Amino acid sequence: MNILSLFLIFSLSVAQPIDSVVLQSVDIVAPVKQGDDVQGDFSSTTLGRVALEHRHIVSLKELSAVAPNFYQPDYGSRMTSSIYVRGYGSRIDQPVVGLTVDDAPVMNKNNYDFDFFDISQVQIMRGAQSTLYGRNTVGGAINVRTLSPLVFQGKRLTVEYGSAENVKIKASHYASSSRSFGWSAGVYYSHSGGYFNNVARGEKCDGGDNLSARVRHTYLPADGWLIDNSLSFNYLDEGGWGYRAYDEASATLAPVAYNDACSYRRVNVADGLTVKRFFDTFALSATTGYSFTADRMRLDNDFLPLEYFTLGQYQNEHSLTQEIVLKSTDEKAINWLVGAFAFYKNIDLDAPVLFKQYGIENLILKNANDNFFHLAGPDYHLEFRDSSFPIEDKFTLPTFGTALYGQMGWSIGRFLLAAGLRLDYERSSMRYNSYAQVHYKYRRSESDYRTLVTTFKGRESMDALELLPRFSVTYSHNYGKIYATLSKGFKAGGYNTQLFSDILQKKLTDDILNNKAETDASATLYRPETNWTCELGTHFSPFADGRLSLSAALFYIDCRDQQLTVFPKGLSTGRMMSNAGRSHSCGGEFAVRYSLGRVVLDASYGCAYTEFDRYTSGDDDYSGNSLPFAPRETVAANIAYSIPVSRELANFLVLNVGYNGVGRIYWNEANSLAQSYYGLWSASLTWEKGHFGASLWGKNILNERYNTFYFKSIGNNFFAQGKPRQIGLSLHINL
């Protein structure tokens, strides 16, 4: 609990209790920026705890296509948590969607990929949400709610075993000593033996262990008060990156084969405190979030059984956020919301690159000798004494941001007119220190090697000021609503730290040649990306019993200063983000839910046609081509059937059959490689009797083969493949 939240509690505690606000009326479920209506003037998909558990959805990745035009592929590691919405996404650095867990924002995209553990609700909002949610929400926002001890009391235990030696154990306890105080504690452990074999090392490359714990306290100290604190811990240690070399001429994939081990380890501690005070006509909330993340990545960056080079990334991040929201709660003609947000985060990053013999010869010496030293005469030939040498890259990346925002709605008959505006300021800087030491000679006749220490040290900074408006018109009728919105989204800028090894390689060559060329880090900066989203949609429920509900939307997105991942030409070791393009996306979404007796059907469809309006890279002009990595279509359907069974045998027996499909996905800006449409079938059978239950489940049960990722490194093509068939059995006890 920080000073600002303490001040809020004590300053408001002098107010007299409000007679019309009772403990039961305190909203402990809805996000602070929303009311009870989860279907507002935007497209969204919401799944509750029962649906998540019965369908065995265990992470955000498994909501791909379930929420139309939402796609989070498995790129081979939980660190690469790329998310694509309506044709837009980001492979590295800043995400296009924001994530909050119990109202506290998650500031590091490396933490987006986590296993669900006692989750009560997941809401995926699509379309620019930057007016209320700020940075990195150009594509939408995800709100995750954990199970509250004031909603559920008891003990939960789950044990699971599945394919690839997958083991999961969950145990939690929820208690409420009174109607006004509850607490919970839970632990989760999982182990995977891995799915993909690295033939060069003779072992599975993607197994690992995951341990999580969470403690939550919820307290209603008086009428109209809520104090909620959630503390979580996560430890992850895994392999990954089952990348297979692809021969374009023969269109064949080689087995996974690289000689250096790859791994990713993450430790995350996060705490979120929310204080709410409900008055007669308005509510005040303050949310304080703190997160510490320490992660370590080790990578055989050439992904070949050759001694090219390895990459490490060691990162420590502290982040602190504070948000205060004041919103009206009475049902009058005018409703309003105002808020203030501030954050600070600091990253200490070490990213060493170790060049090995084959990499030194082919990436450095060959380039220098072919282009420079052969011109000087036969005696001139660059050699290094060492068979390997490191390039050390150290960075400190502090970022500070603050924002003021507000939104107001006017009810005129059946119409609701709403307008909002956010003023967002952000300042970021980068302190860098790169250095390398080599022993070299550039004449064959020389007997001694010279020592060269090359350094590249300095500081860069940038500011961003954004005005983020939002306008909407909603028409409500007896069966639902029709809405139209226009909103601006904002994705933060940043720094291309992965480019520094290439910069230092060039500076190393310049120093050897005594070339005094100026080198700076200005090329490593990239600016914010913005977009405008226009959307026309409806939420429709024609029957009073709610057995049928439909949602549909059409959208158009205009994206400017688009951040694109660019690979420098030639045998380069780095990649960079560049504001290289302008593009647009247009498409639609449709979702339906229908219940008839014992059958519940959920289905969705999304399409997004994206196109570069302007993008050139060297001599290549990709204008008019489709954006890569995001699917053109998503399809999902799930049928839940409650099988008739005697109460003596079961409280219920539910069969779920699901289908998720995505495609086509282009793998490059030239649109020369693509993943065609594919679909994955899943099924589960859940039985429960008294306190006991079991679930038999399967994913990708037809063992569909498909690719999830493509990239190019040192002139070689690589693909990552999706997981094969998975089958498992879960046993659970609820007391």
In this prediction, what percent of the chain has a pLDDT beyond 90?
A: 69
Amino acid 538 reads T
Q: Give the model confidence (pLDDT) of 301-328 as tens digits.
A: 899 999 998 999 999 999 999 999 999 9
pTM, two decimals, is: 0.91
Using the predicted structure, report yes or no on whether residue 375 has a pLDDT greater than 80: no
The C-alpha atoms of residue 141 and residue 181 are separated, in whole angstroms, by 30
The C-alpha atoms of residue 676 and residue 682 are separated, in whole angstroms, by 20
User: What pLDDT score does 38 carry?
Assistant: 54
Backbone angles phi, psi at 691, to 5 degrees: -90, -5
CATH number, domain with residue 671: 2.40.170.20
Sheet with 707-713, side-by-side order of all strands: 252-256, 243-247, 716-721, 707-713
Query: Nearest-CA neighbor of 138 among 190, 183, 93, 84?
Result: 84
Report, as an integer, the average pLDDT of 155-183: 94
Domain that holds residue 392: 3-734
User: What pLDDT score does 569 carry?
Assistant: 56
Using the predicted structure, report yes or no on whether residue 48 has a pLDDT greater than 80: yes
Q: Which of 78-92, 351-365, 620-634 has the highest mean pLDDT?
A: 620-634
Residues in the chain: 735
Q: Give the model confidence (pLDDT) of 565-605 as tens digits.
A: 776 555 455 567 778 789 999 999 999 999 999 999 999 99
Determine the 3-state secondary structure of 84 from DSSP.
Answer: strand
Query: Nearest-CA neighbor of 510 among 640, 368, 375?
Result: 368
User: What pLDDT score does 2 carry?
Assistant: 42
The C-alpha atoms of residue 241 and residue 166 are separated, in whole angstroms, by 18
User: What pLDDT score does 15 carry?
Assistant: 33
Q: What share of the chain is helix, strand, coil (3-state, %, to 5)?
A: 10, 60, 35
Determine the 3-state secondary structure of 579 from DSSP.
Answer: strand
Contact 570, 713 (CB under 8 A): no
The C-alpha atoms of residue 538 and residue 41 are separated, in whole angstroms, by 8
The C-alpha atoms of residue 517 and residue 532 are separated, in whole angstroms, by 41
With a CB cutoff of 8 Å and minimum separation 6, the contacts of 647 are none
Q: Give the model confidence (pLDDT) of 417-452 as tens digits.
A: 999 999 999 999 999 999 999 998 888 888 889 999
Contact 65, 635 (CB under 8 A): yes
- In terms of Cβ atoms closer than 10 Å to its own Cβ (0-12, 13-18, 19+), residue 630 is buried
Contact 12, 224 (CB under 8 A): no
Contact 455, 503 (CB under 8 A): no
- In terms of Cβ atoms closer than 10 Å to its own Cβ (0-12, 13-18, 19+), residue 676 is exposed
Residue predicted with more confidence, 677 or 663: 677
The C-alpha atoms of residue 442 and residue 382 are separated, in whole angstroms, by 4
The C-alpha atoms of residue 498 and residue 315 are separated, in whole angstroms, by 13
Q: How many domains does the chain have?
A: 1
User: What pLDDT score does 331 carry?
Assistant: 79
Which two structure tokens, joined as six digits, stand for 361? 């010869």
Contact 223, 23 (CB under 8 A): yes
User: What pLDDT score does 568 carry?
Assistant: 58
User: What pLDDT score does 186 carry?
Assistant: 97
User: What pLDDT score does 39 carry?
Assistant: 64
Determine the 3-state secondary structure of 7 from DSSP.
Answer: helix
The C-alpha atoms of residue 541 and residue 406 are separated, in whole angstroms, by 30
Report, as an integer, the average pLDDT of 491-497: 89
Contact 686, 54 (CB under 8 A): yes
User: What pLDDT score does 37 carry?
Assistant: 53
Query: Nearest-CA neighbor of 334 among 439, 417, 257?
Result: 417
Which two structure tokens, joined as six digits, stand for 99? 């994530």
